[in-house]
Amino acid sequence: MKDRVSLRARRSFRMSGIRCALVLAIVAFGSLVAACGDSPSEEPVATPAGPSKTTKTAALPAEMVSAVSAGRSSGVVGVHFALGKLPLVGQALPVDIAIVPHQDFASVRASFEGPDGLPLNVGHELNPLTDVKSETIIKHQLVLLPRSDGVFIVSATVETESPTEGNVSRVFSLPIIVAAAAAPVAAAPAPAAPK
């Protein structure tokens, strides 16, 4: 009988150890889940002392979006674009480009290339500009001629020259979605004259 009691006591002790570990795990998990919903503290974030540097990129029109850079190029030079109108098949599409260098360059030039379904009509090249200062907005315009509907990528290659880096080419992608042109509405036939 004594053996049965000690066996029960050991099982009970093991079960209580397992239960205790389980309860601790549940409490820890619950604490983590509850912490996920916490909002950040309302304390103000310290800002570095000194004058704030206002850049000219704030002068970009609100409708301009950033082109996608290959790599980390956007920290050195940024390319932004805005479509002049809704891209439709068969209708010329003006695209405003803004190139914004984030450091001084001896020269900046750019070339643009469209895919087969969205060829460039105007604006293939931005001629080299010399002695380009940081945060200067360089404006350029493309005119695309959409031939088919779909998602297209226009490539922009920005070549910069600086004394520290030498000549560097950076590639950016401008995604453009072209919609099919609306079919013309056929005129309704004239009603027949009453007899």
pLDDT at 29 over 50: no
Using CA atoms, how far apart are residues 10 and 2, in angstroms rounded to an integer? 12
pLDDT at 187 (0 to 100): 60
Q: Kindly report the CATH class assigned to 63-178.
A: mainly beta
pLDDT at 114 (0 to 100): 94
The residue among 98 and 70 whose pLDDT is bigger is 98
pLDDT at 51 (0 to 100): 40
pLDDT digits (tens, 9 = 90+) for 130-146: 999 999 999 999 999 99
Q: By C-alpha distance, which of 89, 103, 99, 90 is closest to 177?
A: 89
pLDDT at 189 over 80: no
pLDDT at 44 (0 to 100): 43
pLDDT digits (tens, 9 = 90+) for 102-117: 999 999 999 999 999 9
pLDDT at 161 over 70: yes
